[in-house]
A = this chain, B = another copy of it.
Amino acid sequence: MRQETIENYLKTIYNLSSNNTAVVNNQKIADRLSLNPATVTEGLRKLHELKYIVYEKSYGSRLTASGSKLALDIVRRHRIWETYLAKELGFGWDEVHAIAEELEHVNNVKLINKLASILGNPIYDPHGDPIPDEKGKIQKSNFIKLSEAKVKFYYKVMGVTDHSTTFLKYLEKHNLIIGASINIKTIEDFDNSIVLICQKKEVNISPKAAECIIVQSI
């Protein structure tokens, strides 16, 4: 199996099993990688043979220790590159993902560690996702998307994943700046829009906007 193929599968399985214990189903992998389901079945069978995953037919896959190790390594490379592209090379946060998607396959530990060191060994990337360290250790993040927030809970705005002028203006209008404290009042049943209190004013946030706002439970 080509190394790049292996890496793409493992990264995808890792990302889809967020907590890294959940079993991932084939269809989601096929969607993410834009592959035919038949191709995925084949791929997973091979990854099982290579002992990167445990694959149970008609059930799903989860990473083994060695698969997890490789997946974390790829995730590290990807996030370090994203951060480097954004912070050191002046790319927009909307541009970095696609480039990092290619750069992540260049496997040179010294290179990634050097970039990380220049960046001050960050534990979070520009999107608020945690960056595994060289050993694969990951800072468990309590950052979530506003769209995943629960009613009555208090949160702090930590970042955004969309940096378009229109979106930033939208946020400004509602006082949703970085660091702002918010309280979720209700989530509308019919369209999932979120009603929250920010600086004593009631604000209505669309589901689309809520997807792009990163918050932390406080």
Quick one: CB contact mask for A76-115 with B, threshold 8 Å, 1 for yes? 0000000001000111000100010011011110110011
Place the interface of chain A in its size category. Answer: 10 to 19
Closest Cβ of chain B to A91, distance in Å, is 8
CA distance A44 to B26 in the complex (A): 39
Inter-subunit contact A106/B108 (CB<8 Å): no
Chain B residue at minimum C-beta to C-beta distance from A89 = B114
Quick one: CB contact mask for A131-174 with B, threshold 8 Å, 1 for yes? 00000000000000000000000000000000000000000000
CA distance A114 to B106 in the complex (A): 19
CA distance A106 to B99 in the complex (A): 8
Inter-subunit contact B103/A89 (CB<8 Å): no
Residues of A58-92 contacting chain B, CB below 8 A: 85, 89-91
B-chain residues with CB within 8 Å of residue A114 when the two chains form the complex? 89-91
CA distance A213 to B55 in the complex (A): 56
CA distance A89 to B102 in the complex (A): 20
Chain B residue at minimum C-beta to C-beta distance from A108 = B99
Inter-subunit contact A111/B99 (CB<8 Å): yes
Chain B residue at minimum C-beta to C-beta distance from A106 = B102
Closest Cβ of chain B to A58, distance in Å, is 33
B-chain residues with CB within 8 Å of residue A89 when the two chains form the complex? 111, 114-115, 118
Residues of A13-65 contacting chain B, CB below 8 A: none
B-chain residues with CB within 8 Å of residue A107 when the two chains form the complex? 102
B-chain residues with CB within 8 Å of residue A99 when the two chains form the complex? 106, 108, 111
CA distance A95 to B108 in the complex (A): 11
Closest Cβ of chain B to A192, distance in Å, is 36
A→B interface (CB under 8 Å): 85, 89-91, 95, 99, 102-103, 105-108, 110-111, 114-115, 118
Q: A99-B108, A102-B105 are in contact. List 18 more A-B contacts (CB 8 A).
A: A85-B111, A89-B111, A89-B114, A89-B115, A89-B118, A90-B114, A91-B110, A91-B111, A91-B114, A95-B110, A99-B106, A99-B111, A102-B106, A102-B107, A102-B108, A103-B103, A103-B106, A106-B106
